[in-house]
Amino acid sequence: MSLSKSIAILIEELQINEKSGAKLYDSFWKYIAKTLAEDGSVEINGIGVFSIVKTEPKDDKSKAESKIIFTPSAAFKSEIGVGI
Amino acid sequence: MAAKNLNHKFIEYLYKNKIISKDNIKKGKDLESLVTKGIIESLKKENEHPLSNFGVFRKTSAYVSGRNVKNVEFIPNEALQKSITGRYVSKKEGQFSIKKNLKMIFIILGILSALFILFGILFTFCRNDIKSFIDNQKSKNEMRKQHNNDLSGDADTTNDIVTKENIDMEDENVYATKEEDLVIKIRGDKDPELKEGEYKEELIEYNGKIYKKFKYTIKKGDTLWDISAKFLDDAFRWPFLHNINKYIIDPDVIEPGDPLTIYVENKS
């Protein structure tokens, strides 16, 4: 499982137990969400940039919305084999 | 936020929220790069990688101009999407938004409330003054009404009730004062036989007592004070004169030529 892979690396490198590893992984993304909400954008080294973008409504009846978009870095795309 | 600071800030966040111990922090590991490494390793083999409650990375492929183009997309968690992007923004400029103007609404309501409280306090303190003013006006109106009643009626009846034979105790115009002198409201009709400063005198009987009744015509310069001193031997009894002659509304204002009726108990 991919989630376990990420946690496994944390456990191995930091020499912590599984529970702590999972907690750490969750905390990372909670922190990213918090930073995104406060600053409007956040860049993760080796992954890319998450940002909030406002979209204008198409007409008077529809609402203007904000969306979270992700811009992958070239290195990330290259590592995972996309963009070819 | 720049990528360089992210690891440092994240570690601070972990420490403040007591998520990991100091020992792990001191190890100086780059937690950011460890997380990234795990994601990359996972996406090399899998098409999808969950990011806890943040969202999901998903590899996609599409044919563009005959070519298979691969990409990676991020699908945010629904709850996250709602929390970050749940606000409605009006397209029209100038459209009133309650949420945006909530602060101003509260300030206006606060000012209005303060004004209401201030008026309430002022009214409480001045209530007695306002009440006295209203009562004063009422009594003046009543006096005017009474005065008009006194002056109305049969103009031919100019004489007061004065003799024992025709005194009418049922007449509402007949009543006694505290001093038990005879008191009658008069209509203020002028006696053509009397010039200014002149008077007529006659004796009358009332309630077993004999009274001298003077009918005096006011002259220029007269005051109730002087007239009381002349007929009642006591200037301080001028309110008694005023009380008898009810047509006089203001005791400080008496007109030359107007009649004045005075009763004095005849003790001789």
Cβ distance A19 to A26 under 8 Å?
A: no
pLDDT tens, position by position, A18-50: 888 888 888 888 888 888 888 888 999 889 999
Residue B223 confidence (pLDDT): 92
Angle at which helices B31-45 and A18-39 cross, to 10°: 100
Per-residue pLDDT band at B90 (split at 50, 70, 90): very low
What structural domains does chain B harbor? 3-85 (4.10.520.10), 174-265 (3.10.350)
Per-residue pLDDT band at B15 (split at 50, 70, 90): confident
Task: State how far the Cα of B89 lies from the Cα of B177, in Å rounded to an integer.
Answer: 85
Listed by number, the residues of chain B in 223-252 with a beta carbon closer than 8 Å to a beta carbon of chain A are none
Q: Is pLDDT above 70 for B124?
A: yes
Highest mean pLDDT among A1-10, A29-38, B136-145: A29-38
Per-residue pLDDT band at B167 (split at 50, 70, 90): very low
- Higher-pLDDT residue of A58, B193: B193
Task: State how far the Cα of B203 lies from the Cα of B263, in Å rounded to an integer.
Answer: 10
Instruction: For chain B, give the mean pLDDT.
Output: 74
Residue B110 confidence (pLDDT): 94
Phi/psi of residue B216, nearest 5 degrees: -115, 140
Task: State how far the Cα of A10 lies from the Cα of A24, in Å rounded to an integer.
Answer: 8
pLDDT tens, position by position, B70-82: 888 888 888 887 7
Residue B26 confidence (pLDDT): 52
Burial B150-162 (b: 16+ CB within 10 A, else e): eeeeeeeeeebeb
pLDDT tens, position by position, B151-163: 444 433 333 433 3
Q: In the structure encoding, which two tokens stand for residue B181, read together?
A: 């002198």
Percent pLDDT > 90 in chain B is 12
Q: Which of B8, B31, B48, B52 to mutate to test the interface with A (most CBs of A within 10 A)?
A: B52
Residue B135 confidence (pLDDT): 80
Q: In the structure encoding, which two tokens stand for residue B197, read together?
A: 């400063």
Q: What is the rounded average pLDDT of the residues B179-198? A: 64
Residue B93 confidence (pLDDT): 46
What are the distances in angstroms from CA B70 to CA B48, B59, B143?
A: 13, 7, 104
By the CB < 8 Å criterion, does B2 face chain A? Answer: yes
Query: Rounded to a whole number, what is the distance in Å from the CA of B109 to chain A's nearest CA?
Result: 30
Q: What is the rounded average pLDDT of the residues B63-88? A: 78
Task: State how far the Cα of A68 lies from the Cα of A32, in Å rounded to an integer.
Answer: 12
Residues of chain A contacting B40 with CB distance shorter than 8 Å: 46, 76, 79-80
Q: Which amino acid is at A29?
A: W
Residue B113 confidence (pLDDT): 95
Residue A48 confidence (pLDDT): 92
B185 in helix, strand or coil? coil
Residues of chain A contacting B31 with CB distance shorter than 8 Å: 10, 14, 24, 28
By the CB < 8 Å criterion, does B90 face chain A? Answer: yes
Task: State how far the Cα of A25 lies from the Cα of A17, in Å rounded to an integer.
Answer: 12
pLDDT tens, position by position, B34-53: 888 888 888 888 888 888 88
pTM score, two decimals? 0.46
- Measure CB to CB from residue B20 to each of A24, A31, A79 and give the nearest one: A24
Residue B221 confidence (pLDDT): 92
Residue A69 confidence (pLDDT): 87
- Measure CB to CB from residue A84 to each of B39, B70, B72 and give the nearest one: B70
- Measure CB to CB from residue A82 to each of B3, B42, B59 and give the nearest one: B59
- Measure CB to CB from residue A45 to each of B32, B74, B92 and give the nearest one: B32
Residues of chain B contacting A65 with CB distance shorter than 8 Å: 85
Handedness of CA B1, B6, B8, B9 (dihedral sign): positive
* Cβ–Cβ pairs < 8 A, chains A and B: 159
Q: What is the rounded average pLDDT of the residues B97-124? A: 88
By the CB < 8 Å criterion, does A10 face chain B? Answer: yes
Helix then strand then coil, in percent of chain B rounded to 5, is 40, 20, 40
Residues of chain A contacting B81 with CB distance shorter than 8 Å: 67-68
Per-residue pLDDT band at B109 (split at 50, 70, 90): very high
Q: What is the rounded average pLDDT of the residues A5-16? A: 83
Distance of CA B49 to the CA centre of its chain: 69
The 3-state secondary structure of B98-129, one letter per residue: CCCCHHHHHHHHHHHHHHHHHHHHHHHHHHHH
- Higher-pLDDT residue of B254, B5: B254
**B40, A50: Cβ pair inside 8 Å?**
no
Listed by number, the residues of chain A in 14-33 with a beta carbon closer than 8 Å to a beta carbon of chain B are 14, 16, 20, 23-33
By the CB < 8 Å criterion, does B20 face chain A? Answer: yes
Residues of chain B contacting A72 with CB distance shorter than 8 Å: 71-72
Residues of chain A contacting B76 with CB distance shorter than 8 Å: 68
